[in-house]
Amino acid sequence: MTATNAPQDKYKAVWLIFFTLGLGTLLPWNFFMTATMYFTSRLKAPGGMDDAAAAAGNATEAPPTPEEALTLLLVAKFNNVMTLCAMVPLLAFTYLNSFLLWVPQKIRIMGSLSVILLVFMVTAILVKVEIAPLPFFVITMIKIVIINSCGAILQGSLFGMAGLLPSTYTTPIMSGQGLAGTFAAFSMICAIASGSELSDSAFGYFITACAVILVAILSYVLLPKMEFFQHFQTNKGEDEEKQMDLLKKGSATEQTMSSSQNSQQKPSMVVIFKKIWVMALSVCFAFTVTIGTFPAVTADVKSTIANGGAWEKYFIPVSCFLLFNLMDWAGRSLTAVCTWPGQDSKLLPILLLCRIVFVPLFMLCNVQERYYLPVLFHHDAWFIVFMIFFAFSNGYLASLCMCFGPKKVAPHEAETAGAIMAFFLSLGLALGAAVSFLTRALV
């Protein structure tokens, strides 16, 4: 059976399942980021302090008690430690996932989703449980380590699985990941508009996350029953489309012969990396630039036209988080109908290199507090325009890299290539987190 007579993806069911699974990979982490205000509020020492700032103000009048000092330390370091506990396990387990392909795919994906669901159920329960600041801090960081470790395994497995299908089936994963951020940002705005308590909002966040992860689990259970998916799984992607992808390369005939001769051999990661290194390094650089700027620098931009009005309260949730995630999602989704420039074009890595211009552009917006650089772009409109192009280019160009990577290798190497691409994506996230400390310090 070839691609020409392969069964149809009825009602786009397989596409929607991959979209849901993509949503499930990043929704947990985005919900934890969205609930940062809730987590820091739970770290306040008991005894009547309204917030950490009040504690800091009291500290100028009298030496803080050990309990107050601990509270100030935990609150001040929460975001930095949270990022560290997220990115290091994400990178480590994405790397390990490349060597865990011998573990059955079902165990990797179902196991990861089940653990993530359990973590969010525990998190929702703990919203209603009083816990001292230090134990709460430790428990929260352990949960962040767990969800990002499982998310890394889930993400690598999904991209590897999508590598066996036509190239358009990497797009729903990237698009679903983009929606995760949009959903979290929209939830943040709704919470502000409702005026509800932080604890009530957080409980709603975590219950919603549980529901979405449960839907993802049910979707994966249905996936093997789809005739379209069964066809490509059974034939290991040896269909007409992938043969056409190979024929586009200069050494297509040689690669096709090599594929048939070595289809039973274990793919060499070094050999595969040599074929996809441009795409791998490109997606790594894309996310290094993005995370190196967003949200470390962008979230500290202040509106210059709000003058204390409602826009001041909504400026960052709307112009930074919601706008970024919407445009990033739009860019990822566009790759379903447009794949320019092509996989062998030198223009793709060049365009990604050009994105580095956004780093100084955002640093020269009205970021507060600032110590070294002047403000050249005062008006809010500059920041919004920069954010639109910054987010859209990230979603579109990074998604192209993730689509093209597995298509530059032989069909039996596609799953390993997908895992390698997922690793370099995670490497870019980790490098971006490290770079963000520098970019913010230089403003």
Point out the least confidently predicted range of 161-170, 250-259, 422-431. Answer: 250-259
Do the beta carbons of residue 425 and residue 332 sit within 8 Å? no
Instruction: With a cut of 90, say whether residue 33 has pLDDT above it.
Output: no
Amino acid found at 266? K
The Cα 105–Cα 377 span in angstroms is: 49
Q: Do 354 and 261 belong together in one domain?
A: yes
| pLDDT computed for residue 236 by the predictor | 58
Instruction: With a cut of 70, say whether residue 300 has pLDDT above it.
Output: yes
Q: Do 263 and 214 belong together in one domain?
A: no
Instruction: With a cut of 90, say whether residue 384 has pLDDT above it.
Output: yes
Q: Do 191 and 321 belong together in one domain?
A: no
CA 109 to chain centre: 17
The Cα 165–Cα 241 span in angstroms is: 9
Is residue 44 domain-resident?
Answer: yes
DSSP label of 103: S
| pLDDT computed for residue 308 by the predictor | 75
Largest CA distance in the chain: 79
Among candidate residues 234, 251, 273, the one where a domain is terminated: 234
Q: Do 303 and 405 belong together in one domain?
A: yes
The Cα 329–Cα 341 span in angstroms is: 19
Is residue 146 domain-resident?
Answer: yes
| pLDDT computed for residue 196 by the predictor | 67
| pLDDT computed for residue 235 by the predictor | 67
Among candidate residues 207, 234, 261, the one where a domain is terminated: 234
Tokens of 256: 């096709």
Q: Do 153 and 292 belong together in one domain?
A: no
Most confident listed range (8-12, 55-59, 128-132, 205-209):
128-132
Of 397, 378, 141, the closest CA to residue 289 belongs to 397
Point out the least confidently predicted range of 104-113, 153-162, 195-204, 274-283. Answer: 195-204
Among candidate residues 219, 234, 249, the one where a domain is terminated: 234
Instruction: With a cut of 90, say whether residue 86 has pLDDT above it.
Output: no
Instruction: With a cut of 80, say whether residue 425 has pLDDT above it.
Output: yes
Q: The domain that contains 105 carries what CATH number? A: 1.20.1250
Quote the domain boundaries for residue 401. Answer: 238-443
| pLDDT computed for residue 203 by the predictor | 80
Is residue 2 domain-resident?
Answer: no
Q: Do 225 and 246 belong together in one domain?
A: no
Is residue 271 domain-resident?
Answer: yes
Of 189, 266, 154, the closest CA to residue 34 belongs to 189
Q: Do 260 and 331 belong together in one domain?
A: yes
For the chain, what is the domain count? Answer: 2
Most confident listed range (41-50, 88-97, 168-177, 279-288):
279-288
- The 3-state secondary structure of 53-95 reads HHHHHHHCCCCCCHHHHHHHHHHHHHHHHHHHHHHHHHHHHHH
pLDDT band with cut points at 50, 70 and 90 for residue 168: confident
Q: Do 375 and 429 belong together in one domain?
A: yes
Rounded to 10 degrees, what is the CA torsion of 73, 206, 151, 337? -120
The Cα 264–Cα 138 span in angstroms is: 47
Q: What is the mean pLDDT of residues 291-311?
A: 84
pTM: 0.71
Q: Do 127 and 255 belong together in one domain?
A: no
Which is more confidently placed, 128 or 235?
A: 128
Point out the least confidently predicted range of 56-60, 62-66, 213-217, 312-316. Answer: 56-60
Amino acid found at 375? V
Q: Over the chain, what is the mean pLDDT? A: 81
- Per the listing, tokens 């011998």 go with 102
Beta bridge partners of 377: 365
| pLDDT computed for residue 98 by the predictor | 66
Do the beta carbons of residue 432 and residue 288 sit within 8 Å? yes
Instruction: With a cut of 60, say whether residue 258 has pLDDT above it.
Output: no
Q: Do 245 and 338 belong together in one domain?
A: yes
pLDDT band with cut points at 50, 70 and 90 for residue 80: low
Instruction: With a cut of 70, say whether residue 263 has pLDDT above it.
Output: no
Point out the least confidently predicted range of 92-101, 110-119, 175-184. Answer: 92-101
Q: Do 288 and 417 belong together in one domain?
A: yes
Is residue 204 domain-resident?
Answer: yes
Q: Do 180 and 311 belong together in one domain?
A: no
Of 271, 273, 322, the closest CA to residue 295 belongs to 322
Is residue 404 domain-resident?
Answer: yes
Q: Which pLDDT tens digit goes with each residue over 170-190? A: 888 877 887 888 887 787 787
Which is more confidently placed, 63 or 170?
A: 170
Instruction: With a cut of 70, say whether residue 149 has pLDDT above it.
Output: yes
Is residue 108 domain-resident?
Answer: yes
Instruction: With a cut of 80, say whether residue 154 has pLDDT above it.
Output: yes
The neighbour count for residue 275, using CB atoms within 10 Å, is 18
pLDDT band with cut points at 50, 70 and 90 for residue 47: very low
Is residue 437 domain-resident?
Answer: yes
pLDDT band with cut points at 50, 70 and 90 for residue 347: very high
